[in-house]
Structure 1
């Protein structure tokens, strides 16, 4: 699993997002012309604007000028490194300053590298590739602490952190609705009793893979919630959107056609409970409690179905 995950991380390098920060638009245009074919490029013309772009879009790397009015590059870099949500974004300074004390100041501010102006395109591209590779490898190693060893999806620790982060980002960006789905494999104990725990583990892996495949958006999160339970977090998704995803999940697991003669359906099925809140009112514990209550109702309704709570604050979005 590790080799596959590492390969997936490294193959995303060409799609990385780079933020270019310079108070002179002509300099931004020059760097954009060099990077546009290989990367998604964001732009900012001030330190404050750069901080906002980082918090909103989480670029993979920053190219930043040192000399800027009001908030210069050094101050901006220090502010980035002081913010735990964006501190891991590597900063490369692009500067015309050549004195040793200027170079030292760049390192002290938290930069990973610096490039002299005028920019050599070949040097710029190779430096970017090197630092993106290092970041991707570091992200991969960090992610291992958040992966469920059996199923390969995210674990409960990552899930809890992710929901808090999604709520914070959604409030900051004034997004509308956040939905969560809690799902449980029906009569899983009976499955283990019938076929054994090795077969149960294989069923868990197949269900997890089906869930990940059915969740198409990169922002959707699938995690193992505990035992035979999983949770799906759907950012910027209202009740109708959550219901569409839930139906896809039910169908994806049914299509596995894993035999389970101890159930009325004769195969492995899942029950799903959903909850939706506006980002302005979303609280992790409330969302998960409501989704869990709906999961109980789904099981009471015959299993292999979806039930959801209707958001009382839906009218506000």
Structure 2
């Protein structure tokens, strides 16, 4: 796991001018990594021929091998056969979806067994797609592309102003580990956004998981590190306060009210996020 980005430090002691500027990477230029799990070598080779030009591919013969690969590599989507020795696709999908560290990974089941019961079981666990063999190559590729596009859409919407105040628009599955995680993150920020001393360490402590896991999960679901998530939330709350003030709000007072120690830094970050100065909402 990579070390915490330097911009995360902006959340440790409140938001101040001394904080490092946030540098974002264009993830759209990076190929997604797919894990193909199937005990049939010829099927893996066929799938590889369909996907090798668009994605980075990892392979496993069964669920046991797949779990070892998932522990060592970042995987963006899993394509798995249903019936396999040692650990089948149903058990693999269950373990992936029950583990907070991996529950965000989309899962596509491939099977030669046309069973409505198995299909219901897979969807109840949280599998994203269930496709029967033999399958149309183009439909297979479209479904993978659509799943990954939907995941990127979650991240893009979370990065947009005002969305942080309501994650119901993201379409996360109710009672899923991903939804519970984001609900908890939102709840904590709603409680503590005004406290300048409420930084990254306190947030991670209250989330109840390791810093590595919380950062990994935030990156996967929101497409940003913890510190950026916290900063964006505070900026969104600042904009709400300015809008509610209807011209009477003081920028410095609002900056302090949402946990920024430096009004000038608040103004700089506000301009970066919203494309306008906070003074456009205020007399001061």
Richer in strand (by share): 1
- TM-score, normalising length: structure 1: 0.45
Richer in helix (by share): 2
Question: Larger C-alpha radius of gyration, 1 or 2?
Answer: 1
- TM-score, normalising length: structure 2: 0.50
